Copies of this chain bind each other. A is one copy, B any other.
């Protein structure tokens, strides 16, 4: 056990000093996170006289565990239901905030004469607020259950999704040097496809598996199962070239649908607290106080920009989407800081070797300063709103009031809600099933080199191997193809009913409607085939064999049609059950 003494000593120093510093920060009524970072600075290589840490690598490895558990916990708190409730406002506010902060960050960087990549990463660092710090601040102030807090959490969720997309885009830009609209579109579609499919498949499988394990009553086994799924999924995600943070977040969101959510949160909390403490310490470890002093001027400017920019952008976005002035101000004040995501983006820049060294300490310094101000800003939001309302000219406040009324009347005026909702629901179902079909073909063609090696034992002929691979993908995706066909048919029927009115169609009404209802699904099937063919890539069999496979598939389909319908229906039921089930208290 001797080789691990150094590692233990590092861990002991990190934990002991962190303990002392956090107690100190708590006494000074400052957030614990700041204490962690401060402890990291004290331990770190830039602050003499002691060389505290022996093996920085291993400590940083444990720090990565902190990121995973932080994002996983965030995912556990994520809920599709909650998101839908505050959906529109959150999306508008988050988009407003991200776009404006990206622009402000880029402009500040350019004004300081930094290169475009540094400026871009600075913008990205300022875009996303810190969920952990907001949650901590709101719960310390006892405001966590207020309605504006729900809105804030909604904004944070949207920010997280957009932030993850931003990570992917930044990696792309860093590697190719430019942002092509095409790449951005493909990246976003691929990301959304991956997220949709993994959420669907995950929600179908993981909560059931966890329920099974949880029924044993053993916390230990449940924990091992949760960690197995979490790490396993993270590795899968990393293999697909997405970030480990995305993986942890997604699997957390999947487990959020488990009935045993609260037990899982309970079990994960100590692991998250211990490893995230180490993560925040490693941030401090990388902070060179000399660099912060050297860049005191940019740090000041950026800190002010974050506070003012976020209050204005997020507050305005909230207000424009129909909330009152007080709520908007409180939301804006709550999100006026940067945190863990900024460090992740700064780390990304350093890892990809596209940003300068000084960005990281600046991000840490700005985060520390804005973390410090957050609780005071939240507290000052209400008095400030009142003072502003008093000071505002009557014309202004009338105009604001009228805007709110107009917006509400707009929402109330939306007609035909039933037909609209029905159409939307069918379209969503078609898109989801198409996504599944696409994912199956992408997965099979992705794993083609491996399966070809296995198949080579029985089938030497390469085209025949492709036939087998393609057929497997086709058979697996059959239930979803059938579902797409049936949904398109009902959509076509619905549209035919609405668009072909007896007054216009006369005696052809019925025939026209039937024609549309029959034609659209067939056309859509051709579309599905083209999509699949495009996605299959290397595993698409040569034309002759392809036709043969399709004929066989058609014959098979005639036999198993009912079975396909049944399997799809039961999947749908299972999914709905999982989503609708409330977690045990």
Contact = CB atoms under 8 A, between A and B. Distances in A.
A4 B275 CA distance: 15
B277 A5 contact: no
Interface stretch (A141-149, A181-189, A217-225): A217-225
A143 B7 CA distance: 40
Is chain A's interface secondary structure helix, strand, loop, or mixed overall? helix
Interface stretch (A192-200, A227-235, A367-375, A429-437): A227-235
A279 to B, nearest CB: 11
B223 A270 contact: yes
A221 B26 contact: yes
A61 interface: yes
Contact of A23 (B17, B212, B235, B271): B212
Contacts of A7: 61
Given A11-B231, A244-B1, A221 B32 contact: yes
Contacts of A238: 5, 8
A273 B4 contact: no
A47 interface: no
A20 B227 CA distance: 12
Q: Which of A13, A64, A271, A274 has the most CB of B within 10 A?
A: A274
B232 A351 contact: no
A16 interface: yes
Contact of A228 (B15, B216, B225): B15
Integer count of this chain's copies in the complex: 2
A12 interface: yes
A134 B425 CA distance: 56
Contacts of A61: 3-4, 7, 58
Interface in A227-261: 227-232, 234-235, 238, 243-244
Given A231-B15, A232-B15, A270 B273 contact: no
Contacts of A212: 23
A224 B274 contact: yes
Contacts of A269: 219, 270
B26 A232 contact: no
Interface in A271-311: 271, 273-274, 277
A267 interface: yes
A17 B225 CA distance: 9
